Amino acid sequence: MDTSRRNFLKKATVTGAAILAAPAVFGSVSAWKHQKATDATAPFKLKYAPGFGMFREHAGKELIDNIKFCYDMGFRAMFDNGLMGRPVEDQVKIANEMQRLGMEPGPFVLYADFAVTSFVLNKPETHEMLVNKMKEGVEVAKRTGVKWALVVPGRYDEKLHRDFQTANVIDNLRYCCDIVEPAGLTIVLEPLNTLKNHPGLFLNGIPQAYGICRAVNRTVCKIVDDLYHQQITEGNLIPNIEAAWSEIAAFHLGDNPGRNEPTTGEINYKNIFKYIYGKNYQGVLCMEHGISNKTKEGESRVIQAYRECDSFEL
């Protein structure tokens, strides 16, 4: 993207976001006019991470344009669930540009097969499959510098006692840690809700994930706390973050109901971000959600929603 086009897109998005923000944040349009324009594009307090394609109406489809646009809007991180499936040249291109801009890459999906029982089984073929998968993830991490790889332990087994399944998950995770630890890659386990999106999965709650991480007892086995899923599964978001803090390495974001941007549902993200910031959190918060209004104006509204929620005071 040439400089003139990039500046035009930046100015257009800032203007759109400013118009949306005026009544909500500054009380009146006249107050907004006196606000510095740079406030709308300054770095956020936390590392909120858009996914590629979230702002396609503004940035188009080209990977580097997406990264530059997000940087210009104040984001200092991005995530790509599908990074592992991209061509090697694209992985390297993404990594180089994000490193140039000083942006943090969020977790990529290393293993998340929702259709099969895997981690809950104690079988040689399961061990072999998981070890090979971890080796693939290590190669991606080496190329890209991503520090975290997301793992979903798969479905539960209806014919095996839950306690035996938990023990098998712990053992299998230890095998995985043996592979990723020398490379400096951390596994982040994602509990998912079984009430709406993913019935039948083994891992569904923060307390459950916390107990498993404590039992695995490896510094490279942690949790990604998806606040959308956990609002459905158990609520009690901030107390559970506090209780599991030592084992949480990343966050996924999305409001409920709808799984769209913050301010569209019932989750008080402004308070949650304030709490996380107060914990001196240095990691990534992946914007793993949809857009309530899939237009150019709707994309600007997503950015402004994060500005609103990021405007907390300690």
The answer to whether 311 and 305 have CB atoms below 8 angstroms apart is: no
The pLDDT value recorded for residue 36 is: 40
Determine, yes or no, domain membership for 107.
Answer: yes
Determine, yes or no, domain membership for 199.
Answer: yes
Question: Tell me, what CATH number does 101's domain have?
Answer: 3.20.20.150
> What CA–CA distance (Å, rounded) separates 158 from 200?
9
Handedness of CA 258, 264, 268, 272 (dihedral sign): positive
The pLDDT value recorded for residue 6 is: 57
pLDDT digits (tens, 9 = 90+) for 120-168: 999 999 999 999 999 999 999 999 999 999 999 999 999 999 999 999 9
Q: How many domains is the chain partitioned into structurally? A: 1
Using left for φ > 0, alpha for ψ between -120 and 50, and beta otherwise, residue 301 falls in alpha
Residue 223 to residues 69, 90, 160, 188, 244: CA-CA distances in angstroms?
A: 29, 27, 25, 5, 9
H helices of the chain, in order, are 3-21, 29-33, 56-59, 63-72, 88-101, 124-144, 162-180, 206-216, 227-233, 237-244, 269-278, 296-309
Closest to 234 measured CA to CA, from 191, 194, 205: 205
> What CA–CA distance (Å, rounded) separates 184 from 64?
26
Determine, yes or no, domain membership for 144.
Answer: yes
Rg (CA), the chain: 20
Determine, yes or no, domain membership for 23.
Answer: no
> What CA–CA distance (Å, rounded) separates 285 from 251?
5
Angle at 217 between CA 210 and CA 238, to 5 degrees: 25
The pLDDT value recorded for residue 1 is: 55
The pLDDT value recorded for residue 32 is: 28
Determine, yes or no, domain membership for 36.
Answer: no
The pLDDT value recorded for residue 15 is: 47
Determine, yes or no, domain membership for 190.
Answer: yes
Handedness of CA 170, 175, 176, 180 (dihedral sign): positive
Burial (CB count within 10 angstroms: exposed 0-12, middle 13-18, buried 19+), residue 307 = buried
Query: What are the CB-based long-range contacts (under 8 Å, 24+) for 177-180?
Result: 177/216, 177/218, 177/220, 177/221, 179/131, 179/134, 179/135, 179/138, 180/134, 180/137, 180/138, 180/141, 180/149, 180/220
Start-to-end CA distance of the chain, whole Å, equals 39
The answer to whether 249 and 223 have CB atoms below 8 angstroms apart is: yes
Determine, yes or no, domain membership for 246.
Answer: yes
Query: What three-state secondary structure class fits 235?
Result: coil
Determine, yes or no, domain membership for 106.
Answer: yes
Q: Which domain holds residue 269?
A: 42-309
> What CA–CA distance (Å, rounded) separates 76 from 101?
8
Q: Which portions of the chain are predicted below pLDDT 70?
A: 1-38
